[in-house]
Structure 1
């Protein structure tokens, strides 16, 4: 099998063209996951009545559903029910007017919320409970203790697990091609339908993903160094 450099270059250009879609599929769910996942983790760690049980069941059940299955379910519900919902809310839009990339973002966001909540919960549980008692002893409220003591110590512990979640989002974003969203993989293989150079197309997609992941790892290393200094200063 010969490797055609010209076809590879064309696939690389097409893959990079659709990189913005992949960035949306990664970073919007990441932000949502960080916000809601941290809230869920705090609720479960501090055992807020009733709500902690609801969140525990939600995370456990949702993590057992493959992302591609959840994605197909959401897409079918979106296609079948959006027009009815829009009519009910007097919204003058049909399903054809809405970019289905938002279905992919929704599915990946729920995945990120569950996985990030577990990472943050594990990091919070690794902190000695005496830190809470120390905060209360100097007159801090529970919220102040969480904000000033627990979260600053939790962040350096959680970063490695959070980076794994980001990498998982990057790789998971490729499944949205199943519902017709064009991202890196689908974009890189567009020329392959004409040139039949699918090998070159997938290699181009792999290289783009590799470069993307290396960039994330580099930023994560810098963040670990920064938060590590902050944590050491906390004990000085």
Structure 2
């Protein structure tokens, strides 16, 4: 099998063209996951009555649902029920007017919320309980203790696991092509329908993902170095 560099280059350019869609599919769910995941993790670690159990059940159950299955369910619900809901709310927007990338973002966001909440919960549990008591002893409220003492120490502990989840989110973003969203993989293989060079198309997509992942890992290294000063090394 011969590797056609011209077809590879064309596929690479098409993949780059749709790279912004992948960025949206990664960073919007990541922002939502970090925000809601932190709230869920704090509620579970600090045992907020009722809420901690409900959130624990939700995370456990949802993590057992494959992302492709969830994506298909949300897409079907969107197509079948959006117009009815819009009519009930007297909204003139129809399902055909909405970019279905938002269905993919919704599905990936829920996945990110669950996985990131578990990563943050693990990081919170790794912090000595004496840190809470130290905060209370100097007159800080629970919220002030969490914000000023716990979270700054939690961040460097959570970063390695969070980066794994970000990389997983980058990979998971490719499944949205199942509902017709064009991202890196779908974009890179567009020329293949004309040139039949599917091998070059998938290699081009792999190269783009590889470069994207390398960039994320580099930024994580910089962030780890910056936040490491907040976590005391017991061997210092």
After TM superposition, is the score higher than 0.5?
yes
Alignment partner of 1:162 is 2:162 = yes
Alignment partner of 1:118 is 2:108 = no
- Report how far residue 115 of structure 1 moved: 0.3
Structure 2 counterparts to residues 77-156 of structure 1, below 5 A = 77-156=77-156
Q: CA RMSD in A?
A: 1.2
Question: d(CA) in 2 for partners of 1:194 and 1:184?
Answer: 18
- Report how far residue 141 of structure 1 moved: 0.3
The residue that corresponds to 2:20 in the other structure is 20
- Report how far residue 229 of structure 1 moved: 2.3
- Report how far residue 102 of structure 1 moved: 0.2
- Report how far residue 231 of structure 1 moved: 2.8
For 2:231, what is the secondary structure of its paired residue? Answer: helix
The residue that corresponds to 1:42 in the other structure is 42
Q: Would you say how many aligned residue pairs link Structure 1 and Structure 2?
A: 235
Question: d(CA) in 2 for partners of 1:160 and 1:95?
Answer: 39
The residue that corresponds to 1:66 in the other structure is 66
Question: d(CA) in 2 for partners of 1:184 and 1:131?
Answer: 45
- Report how far residue 7 of structure 1 moved: 0.3
- Report how far residue 232 of structure 1 moved: 4.3
The residue that corresponds to 2:230 in the other structure is 230
Question: d(CA) in 1 for partners of 2:25 and 2:37?
Answer: 17
The residue that corresponds to 1:196 in the other structure is 196
1:200-221: per-residue Cα shift (whole Å, max 9, x none)? 0000000000000000000000
Question: d(CA) in 2 for partners of 1:2 and 1:103?
Answer: 39
What TM-score comes out, normalization by structure 2 length?
Answer: 0.98
Question: d(CA) in 1 for partners of 2:155 and 2:230?
Answer: 10
Which ranges of structure 2 fall in alignment gaps of 5 or more residues?
A: none
Once superposed, which parts of structure 1, at least 4 consecutive aligned residues long, lie more than 2 Å away? 229-233
For 1:93, what is the secondary structure of its paired residue? Answer: coil
Question: d(CA) in 2 for partners of 1:92 and 1:182?
Answer: 26
Which ranges of structure 1 fall in alignment gaps of 5 or more residues?
A: none
Question: d(CA) in 2 for partners of 1:197 and 1:48?
Answer: 55
For 1:2, what is the secondary structure of its paired residue? Answer: coil
